[in-house]
Amino acid sequence: PFALRHQIPLHVLYLDLDGFKQINDRWGHWAGDQTLIQVARQLQAHVRQDDLVARLGGDEFALLVRGIPNSQILGLAERLRQAVQTLLVQAGTETISLSCSVGIASLLELGEGTDPQSLLAAADKALYQAKAEGGNRETLL
C-alpha cells in the first residue's frame, strides 16, 4: 500500500465503551442510542477532518488516522478516551458517566505484507488487551 511505500504512519483505533450493555439494560435502548450518538459526535469533534470515524456496531467505533507518528498516537488515543469521559448522558433523572477502552494498530509496525484485515485484527487484539487489563485505557500493538 501507499502508506508503507512512502513510510506514512497509518493507524487503526478501535474504541469500545466500557459497560455499555448496562445502559441498555437499565435505561433502555433509547438511552443507549442517545449515548452512541453523543459518543460519535464527541469523537468526530476531536479528530481532524481527514480522519475517518465509523461505528462498527454495538458500542464499538473505529478510527482511521494517518500521518501521526507512533510517538504521538497514544496521546491522541488518550485524548479521545478522556473526551468520551467528559460526556454526561441523561437517562431519565439520572446522569450516566462513560469510560472506554482503545486498541491501536500501526501499519508501519506490522510491516510489509499487512492487508487491511490483518490491520483490523491487530487493532481488535489491542482492544481486547486493553479490556483484559481492566478497561478505561489505551493499548498499542
The residues that are catalytic are 59
Say if CB 92 and CB 128 are below 8 A apart. Answer: no
Enumerate the H helices of the chain as residue ranges. Answer: 2-5, 20-27, 29-45, 70-85, 107-110, 116-132
Q: How far apart are the C-alpha atoms of 8 and 88, rounded to whole Å?
A: 36
Q: Which residues contact 36 (CB under 8 A, 6 or more apart)?
A: 55, 59
